[in-house]
């Protein structure tokens, strides 16, 4: 965290109802006061966990990143640079997925069908990994949707 550009940073970690030692390991990281742990009472799903993280972000920007290590944290300084250039939303576009070919094909068809049906211009092949300004975070937090598709809401707000 100390090598990221800009001022102070925080990390919000969400335990989405894990029944293993995840919460114990996350709480061990809270020795650093820049780390906030949010523990959900049960598994509410990926999008709910991301929303819970946004509810606890206190900074000028939020970077969403899954804990499965499929996203490269080395991209974060580029996100911050784009934010400084005036962008409220910055996201990564996947060049290649690690899943089997049939799953990649399913994703490809699903997201392109969704994009064609949507009134909002949805970026293709963009995951949840990205940066949002405080303005976008605040707008998303005010939305009443319980079953969220944050990539779509992020595109709508930003």
CATH code of 56's domain: 3.90.550.10
- Residue 37 covered by a domain: yes
- Confidence grade of residue 141 (pLDDT, cut at 50, 70, 90): very high
- Residue 6 covered by a domain: no
Structural domain total, the chain: 1
**Model confidence at 6: pLDDT above 80:** no
- Residue 43 covered by a domain: yes
**Which residue would you say has higher pLDDT here, 98 or 24?**
24
- Residue 116 covered by a domain: no
Coil, helix or strand for 55?
helix
pLDDT at 69: 79
pLDDT at 55: 95
- Residue 138 covered by a domain: yes
Average pLDDT taken over every residue of the chain: 88
Which residue segment(s) compose the domain that 53 sits in?
11-92+127-157
Number of neighbours of residue 80 by Cβ within 10 angstroms: 17
The radius of gyration of the chain from alpha carbons, rounded to an integer in Å, stands at: 16
Tell me the per-residue pLDDT of 63-122, one tens digit each, with 9 for 90 and over: 999 988 788 889 999 999 999 999 999 998 877 777 899 998 998 898 889 889 988 888
- Residue 5 covered by a domain: no
Helix (H) or strand (E) run with residue 117 in it: helix 101-117
- Residue 148 covered by a domain: yes
* Predicted model pTM: 0.83
Per-residue H/E/C for 9-45: CCEEEEEECCCCCHHHHHHHHHHCCCEEEEEECCCCC
Listed range (48-52, 93-97, 109-113, 142-146) with the worst mean pLDDT: 93-97
- Residue 132 covered by a domain: yes
């Amino acid at each position: 965290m100390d090598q990221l550009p800009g001022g102070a940073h925080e990390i919000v970690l969400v335990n989405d109802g894990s029944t293993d030692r995840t919460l114990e390991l996350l709480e061990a990281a809270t020795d650093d006061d820049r780390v906030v742990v949010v523990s959900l009472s049960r598994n509410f799903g990926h999008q709910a966990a991301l929303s819970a993280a946004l509810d606890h972000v206190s900074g000028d920007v939020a970077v969403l990143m899954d804990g499965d290590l499929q996203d490269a944290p080395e991209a974060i300084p580029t996100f911050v640079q784009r934010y400084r250039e005036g962008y409220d939303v910055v996201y990564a576009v996947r060049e290649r997925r690690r899943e089997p070919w049939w799953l990649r094909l399913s994703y490809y068809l699903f997201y392109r069908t969704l994009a064609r049906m949507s009134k909002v211009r949805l970026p293709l092949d963009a995951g949840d990994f990205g940066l949002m300004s405080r303005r976008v975070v605040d707008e998303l937090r005010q939305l009443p949707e319980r079953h969220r598709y944050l990539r779509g809401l992020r595109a709508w707000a930003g």
